[in-house]
Amino acid sequence: MANSVVIIAGTPGVGKTSLAKVLADIFNAKHIDLSELTISKKLFSYYDEERESYVINENAVVDEVLKLVKSEERIIIDTHYPEILPSSIVDKVIVLRLNPLILEERLRRKNWSWKKIRENVLAEILSVVSINAIEKFGPNKVYEIDATGKSINEIAEIAVKIISGEYGHKQGTSIDWLEKLPLDIILRYERKEA
Ligand SMILES: Nc1ncnc2c1ncn2[C@@H]1O[C@H](COP(=O)(O)OP(=O)(O)OP(=O)(O)O)[C@@H](O)[C@H]1O
Ligand SMILES: [Mg+2]
C-alpha cells in the first residue's frame, strides 16, 4: 500500500472511525476523520439548526485533504460524504453497511433525536452512501462490507484483503436492506413520530 488514499465510508454510526483507526495502525497510515477535521479546522459554513448538523465548506475541506495527500504517503479517510473528494486522488472506497435495526440502536445511544435517527436509518436502508460513491468513483473502486454481527477486528481483516487487492467484489451495491427487512419495520422509519 504505497501512495494510496483509501476511504472508509458509511452512514453515521456504522463504525467508520473505529475501523479506520485499526487500519491506520496496520498500514502505518495517516488517519483523517473528515467530520473531526471539519470541526477542528472550522471548515464549515454554518450550523443548520433545522438539520441539526454543520454544513461543511466543501472547497475548504477538499483543499485541506489535498494538502495532506501531498505530504503523506498513505492515508485512510473516514467520512459519510466521500463524494466531495476528487476521484483522481482516491484508490478505493470501502462502504461499511449495518443492519438498520442495529444502526438505530447505535444512534439512540448517541442520544440523537428521532428525526435525525430516521433520516440516517432511511439513508442506510436506501444505500445512499454506496450509490453516491459508485456514481462519483465508479463501481470498480467501491467495495461494501456488511459489518452486522462482526467485531471491529473481523471487519478489519476483510478490509485488509480489499486494500491489498486480494479480494474481488461484486459490482454495484450488493447489500439491499429493502429486500431483507419486513415492510412494517421499514415503514416505521417513514413515521415522523417515534
Ligand atoms: N464492529 C462493531 N461492533 C460493535 N460496536 C461497534 C463496532 N464498530 C463500532 N462500534 C461502536 O459503534 C459506535 C459508533 O462507532 P464509530 O464512532 O466508529 O462510527 P462512525 O461511523 O465513525 O460514526 P460517525 O459517522 O457518527 O462518526 C461506537 O460506540 C463504537 O464503539
Ligand atoms: Mg466517526
C-alpha 64 to ligand 1 mean position (Å) = 25
Non-local (6+) Cβ contacts of 147 within 8 A are 14, 15, 19, 96, 97, 98, 155
Architecture of domain 4-99+129-174: 3-Layer(aba) Sandwich (3.40)
Distances (CA, A) of 83 to 10, 89, 95: 12, 12, 12
CA of 16 to the centre of ligand 1 (A): 6
Centroid of ligand 1 to alpha carbon of 58 (angstroms): 24
Tens-digit pLDDT profile for residues 133-177:
999 999 999 999 999 999 999 999 999 999 998 876 666 668 999
Distance of CA 79 from the midpoint of ligand 2 (Å):
7
**Ligand 1 atom at shortest distance from the alpha carbon of 14:** 21
**The ligand 1 atom nearest the CA atom of 109:** 29
Starting from the CA of residue 156, give the closest ligand. Answer: 1
Ligand 1 atom at shortest distance from the alpha carbon of 96? 21
- Check pLDDT > 60 for residue 112: yes
Q: What is the pLDDT of residue 51?
A: 84
* pTM metric for this prediction: 0.95
Give pLDDT tens digits for 14-54: 999 999 999 999 999 999 999 999 999 999 999 999 888 88
**Closest-CA residue to 56 (of 35, 74, 72):** 35
Unique residue bearing C-alpha cell 485541506: 64
Contact 38, 151 (CB under 8 A): no
Instruction: Name every protein residue with a CB atom under 6 angstroms from any ligand 1 atom.
Output: 10, 12-18, 35, 78, 80, 106, 147, 150-152, 155
What pLDDT sits at residue 2?
Answer: 43
Nearest CA to ligand 1 atom 19: 15
- Residue whose CA lies nearest to ligand 1 atom number 6: 15
Cβ–Cβ < 8 Å for 11, 123: yes
Burial tier of 146 (Cβ tally within 10 Å: 0-12, 13-18, 19+): middle
Spatial distance between the Cα atoms of 146 and 149, rounded to a whole number of angstroms: 9
Give the 3-state DSSP-derived string for the chain, with helices as H, strands as E and coil as C.
Answer: CCCEEEEEECCCCCCHHHHHHHHHHHHCCEEEEHHHHHHHCCCEEEEECCCCEEEECHHHHHHHHHHHHHHCCEEEEEECCHHHCCHHHCCEEEEEECCHHHHHHHHHHCCCCHHHHHHHHHHHHCCHHHHHHHHHHCCCCEEEEECCCCCHHHHHHHHHHHHHCCCCCCCCCCCCHHHHCCHHHHHHCCCCCC
Cα of 121 vs centre of ligand 1, distance in Å, is 14
Q: Which amino acid is at 172?
A: G
